[in-house]
Structure 1
Amino acid sequence: MKRKKLIVPLILLLAAAFYFVFLYKNKTLKFVPENADVVVLIDVKKLTGQYISSLISHPSKWSESKTKDKKKISLKNSGIRIPDFLQIFHLKDTKFSEWYSVVELKDPQKFSAFLKSNQFISKGKNVFQKDQIFIKIEGENCILGTSALAFDQLNQQLLQSPGKNTFSADRLINNSLGSISFISGQKTRNFSIELKDDRLEIKNTPQTANYTQLISNAGKENHFFEAELDAANIKNYAHFFDKSFADSSQVSHFKATIELEQVNDTIISYEYDDNFNEIEKKTYQKIVQPRYIINLKSQTPEKTWTYFQHKKWINAQDQFTAIPFQPNRIDRNNGGFIVKSTTNPIARSINQEQNYIFIKNDLLFSYLSIFTPEEKRILSEIDYIFYGNSGDNYLVKIQARKGILPLILRW
């Protein structure tokens, strides 16, 4: 009888524990500064649940932890207080490559040991670096970033004035794994992030245009990059690199096709024999070389040409120097310009009359030295990246290569 009386309280206790561990979420976002113009939120508990669910259904991953490097301290034991919503943000008027986050520390000593075990190098003043990741410890908090330039500013805004600019996660995320929000004053545009078994999708509406045929056609071609954008999309992308480009250049349509090829590059050096005679030495290395054709249309071609000349993007040989890959040539045509590589040129692809960008995971990622071996391993899982826009609907799709495991277990 006494056992039966204990069953109900025990069930309630387990239900309460399950709720607070897996379902309850603190939606207060106190680490988003007021001058953030882009905020990425990750629902950590939802991500954890999705990972556990995938892990349970793939027993081959259960024993993997036994083979991991025991000298490295895991993130779980790093002394970080794992938030319910991870807040990653970009600050207004900073480089597009600069992103930051702030997390709380429940054990600063453990966190220092974690940094050491993961080979972070001390830069002084509680700043540490490994590759492109910078970390600064400020009492019971730490600031993470792809740069250290805004650390002092963030410390002053966030850590010295806690709670001043807090707002709720409900403003940015709606029952999705994550979100990307573009903030301009009181206006916010939210895009959901969903992680599927073989792809990552970012979109602003549940219903998006059907790009299946477009993606299929682009995937069949031997193109590393293919894109077609109207004036509005050009302006959106130019905003990240050169805010004045779209308005000043008057470019109203952009169409580009790029192919990559691996070629042997000859390096000539000189040595001297014992009699000081000069000896030519040739060595060879494989490099990736792009072949491309770019079409630009303008409502006012003369103004566009003048703008290019003012920016010194056209030299005496009619080469378009804004593209670093030479040699090329820029020519005028009806209402616009064609820029194409002159070495082994490629044909222009057909206009699709749609706004899209298609990037195939080709030779480039494996040759870029800016990526670490681990980052290259992650990138190697990607088959292609696609961006599509139709009216007010936007979609970014990162498609993984076919594999036995779902993407969350591969990454």
Structure 2
Amino acid sequence: MSRKRWILLLVIAAILVFGYIKLFYKTWTEQAVAASADQVLVIDVKRVTNTLLWQLLTSPGDWKFSNPFAKKSKDTSWRDMIRIPDYLFAFHSKGQPPGTWYALLDIKSKTGFDACLKKFGFRRLSENEFTNDSTGVYLFVQQDKMLAARAGGADSNLVRQVASELFTRNKFMARAELQKAVDAKSHLAVYISPGNMLKEAGILTANFNRESIKINGLLMPAEQYAFNEEEFSYSTSSVANVCFTQPSQPLFGSLDSTTREKISKAVNLHADSLLLPGNRSYSLVLQDIKERADSAISYTFDDDFNKVEKLVVNNIQEPSFCFVINGKNTAALHAYLLRNNKLEHTAEGELFLPMPLVKSYCREETGGALSITAFNYLPSPADTHTKAVFFLRLSFSRIPGNLLRYLPGSLAESTGRLDELFIQVSRKEQQLQVTGMLTKNKNSPSLIRF
């Protein structure tokens, strides 16, 4: 073989080795996660990057070309502040508020770090602590490491506890436990530690392609938390379906007062009176968002101060829904509604007063069921059946476009590109199997892209 061919082979080999290291070779350390972590979010950065690159290479229509001779402006970004790891770990520390999460990152350069602090409006609290009040991001810096927290300045003691655990006491999560999430070989994985709710560590994964994001996972609940399944039927022509079985008493009892208050506020009923022991299941069908004309008479005055009657016609949108509770204690719930003046007797039936969006009626059905139904609801035949502990289906494409304007701009745009969300929790022997899928509209761009 000639010398030129040897050189060519060496160059090709070097390119292949470099490409392998750059795209596929990954390292990680458990020293990025504190020992107190009870939930860990793991993002396989290279797997995500490779998938996005492949989608871009195989979609020429998404290619964007710029003038190679144009002068590029230098703008400070997060990439100037931190090194992007092969695996990004974000974790929640046991006993801290649910929304407080942490990520330990390497600082790329002191210059880039200082520039980002200035650009993104961080306020210095001490020599190594910074906070951004508008975004609720708190930074704790130790040499070339940065602990980023989703916490406000008022939570500084919580951040310092985790910083002490990582930087002073060197208490890290066991590598064997973290390995379970890494071994899931997914774009994203969530590790949930065993404890009060779970008998064993649980892993949930999420993977994406051009058309959808898929969720999978198995959870082993503790023995005191029993989960029952039920056969649910629904029509795929509806906007949304939510079905779930009665939570066990230990599970419902484990909810703190704040969570119970949120449930009560969401349904406009006291949660303890709604989720009664002895009930079997709950199902909500949002059939459609229907429009109707509503007229009203107003009065104005002419130039001679004569009263002039004016008819005003408004087109209003109302949900068409049916909520059904099955079980032995629906009579007790009905009595609670009557006792607390939640129902009003009318010629059409018992008007359900807590529903402000549409005129709805409460009825005791045969077979131990209680229904709350909008006046405009027309039952449609079920075409799908599923056995589940919990089930959610939401058809974004059937939501009227004018309702999306109430969402923030970027969220409204993203929601308009979605087709359907599906989540189901069902039993698999002693475990709970979690499956889900989020799909996009046929002609919309990829769900996740550069």
Corresponding residue to 2:212 among 199, 208, 222: 199
How much does 1:58 deviate? 2.0
Listed as ranges, the gaps of 5+ residues in structure 1 are 206-213
Change (3 A) 1:121 1:300: same
Is the deviation greater in 227-236 or in 330-339?
Answer: 227-236
Corresponding residue number in structure 2 for 1:291:
320
Shift of 1:257: 0.9
Report the equivalent of 1:325.
357
Letter in 1 for 2:55: S
CA contact (8 A) 2:289 2:399 kept: yes
Q: 2:385 aligns to what SS in structure 1?
A: coil
Distance 2:156 2:402 in 1: 35
Q: Where does residue 254 of structure 1 map in the other structure? A: 282
CA contact (8 A) 1:41 1:87 kept: yes
In the alignment, what sits opposite 2:43?
Answer: 42
Aligned match of 1:56: 57
The size of the alignment, in residue pairs, is: 389
Q: Aligned partners of 2:23, 2:213: CA distance in 1, in Å?
A: 23
Cα 1:61–1:75 change in 2 (3 A) is farther
Cα deviation, residue 384, structure 1: 0.5
Structure 1 CA distance, aligned partners of 2:315 and 2:40?
A: 40
Query: How much is the aligned-residue C-alpha RMSD, in angstroms?
Result: 4.8
Whole-Å separation in 2 of the counterparts to 1:265 and 1:72: 57
Hey, what's the Cα distance between the residues in 2 that align with 1:60 and 1:264? 44
- Between the aligned partners of 2:299 and 2:37, the Cα distance in structure 1 is 54
Deviation at 1:296, TM superposition (A): 0.6
Residue 326 to residue 107, structure 1, CA distance change in 2 (3 Å) = farther
Supply the AA of the counterpart residue of 1:359: L
SS of 1:161 mapped into structure 2? helix
Q: Which protein is bigger by CA-based radius of gyration?
A: 2
**Alpha-carbon shift at residue 90 of structure 1 (Å):** 5.3
Percent identity reads 17
Residue among 385, 399, 423 paired with 1:352: 385
Matched, 1:176 2:194: no
Deviations 1:266-302 (A, max 9, x none): 8999999999999999998876431210111123334
Distance 1:204 1:30 in 2: 25
Match of 1:373 in 2: 409
Distance 2:38 2:353 in 1: 31
Does 17-26 or 288-297 show the bigger shift? Answer: 17-26
Flag structure 2 segments of 5+ consecutive residues without an equivalent: 219-231, 264-270
Cα offset for 1:36?
A: 5.1
Moved more, 9-18 or 232-241: 232-241
Contact 1:366 1:376 in 2 (8 A): no
Decide whether aligned partners of structure 1 residues 121 and 187 sit closer, same or farther in structure 2, where only a CA change above 3 A counts.
same
Q: TM-score, normalised by structure 2?
A: 0.67
Per the alignment, do residues 95 and 314 of structure 1 end up closer, same or farther by CA in structure 2, a change over 3 Å counting? farther
**Hey, what's the Cα distance between the residues in 2 that align with 1:80 and 1:113?**
12
After superposition, the Cα gap between the structure-2 partners of 1:353 and 1:280, relative to the gap in structure 1 and judged at 3 Å, is: same
Alpha-carbon spacing, 1:364–1:115, altered in 2? closer, same or farther (3 Å): farther
Q: After TM superposition, give the deviation of residue 199 of structure 1 in Å.
A: 0.6
Please name the residue that 2:370 is paired with: 337
Give the structure-1-normalised TM-score. Answer: 0.72
Per the alignment, in what secondary structure is the counterpart of residue 132 of structure 2? strand
Report the Cα offset of residue 329 of structure 1.
2.6
